[in-house]
Structure formats: structure tokens, C-alpha cells
Amino acid sequence: MQKAKVKIVLIIIAGLYAIVRYHVFGPVLWRNFPVFTFNKILIFSALILWTLKGYKSFEIIEKPNVLNLIKIFVALHILLSSIVIKPYYLKSVFADDSLNLTGNLSIWAGAMAAAVFFGGKLIQLSQALRFLLLTGFIALHLIFMGGASWLQPQTWYGGMPPITLISFVLVVYVTVRQIRVNNNI
């Protein structure tokens, strides 16, 4: 029961962060909460759970209940992202009405991360290499999606760092931690 409470608290923290950043300080209208903001909450929650739950060796997570929750959040993120991938929501990755180069690279890296994450053991690679591919593709997805704003704190809504930046830091932390703990790459 205690572990369930921790998960709920983490999801609530991710949700409050997204709500305050995008709706209180940012320009996002409340009518966009069910898709745009909820999408941010889902993937931010998945990354937080993924980071804090840890690993044994380079397995992406051995606890089935946590892994299943993360898989649901990631799948919903992919579905909702297909709805919000429009200039209205994501101006920085568009040139006119089509994706610019960074937008295309972000979608490509996200798709590759999803293939590694959901493909799991279908990909005939070592756990360590799968882990590094996953974290590498997630990092690239985040860099291409939001990296342009990371070094411009004056553009951060309410002075709150972008979720892509926080997520990138979490991915780098997990990667470095795993390399140090396992020391076999």
C-alpha cells in the first residue's frame, strides 16, 4: 500500500507541475488540459517512476506493476501526441504547416525509443545495449523537442524549467547511475 501511495504522490507532483507551468503561468487554455496537458503529465509521470524505481542490471524495470503502469502512460503519450502534433501546440517544431527538421528528428527519435521500449526482448541485443539505445533515443527526442528553449530561462513560464529539460536530466541521471552501478559497458 505504501508503494502505491508513493506512485500516486509522484503522479500528483508531475500533474501539479504541468498545470502550474502551462495553465497558471503559461498561455495554455484550460480547454486544452484533457489532451495537451494530460499528455505532458502522463509522460512526465512515466519518466519519474522509471527514474525512481531503479533497475537490476540493465533491465528496464523488473517490477511488473510499475512496468505496466509506465507502458500504459507511454502508450497514451504516443496516442495523445499524435493529436497535438500541430503548429498550434508545438510551434517550435514546425515550419509553416509541416514539421521542420528538429520536429522530424524528434518524432523519429521518439519512435525509435518506443520500438526499443515496447520491442523489449524481440530486439536481439544485450540488456545493456538495449538500455543505452532506449536512453539515447529518449534523450534525442527530448533535445529535438524542447532543447532550443533550455538555455533561455527568460522564456520559461513562471521561471519553471521545461518538462523536456527536467526529463532530459532524469534520463542522463539514470544512464550515468546505471553505468556506474553496473560498470560493464
For 26, the grid coordinates are 503559461
Q: Has this prediction a pTM greater than 0.85?
A: yes
Give pLDDT tens digits for 73-111.
999 999 999 999 988 888 888 998 899 999 999 999 999
Mean pLDDT score across all residues of the chain: 88
Is-contact 47 40, C-beta < 8 A? no
Evaluated on CA atoms 73, 77, 79, 84, the torsion sign reads positive
Give pLDDT tens digits for 136-177.
999 999 999 999 999 999 999 999 999 999 999 999 988 888
Beta bridge partners of 99: 94
Beta bridge partners of 98: 95
Q: In this predicted structure, what is the pLDDT of residue 184? A: 53
Give pLDDT tens digits for 105-143.
999 999 999 999 888 777 778 888 888 999 999 999 999
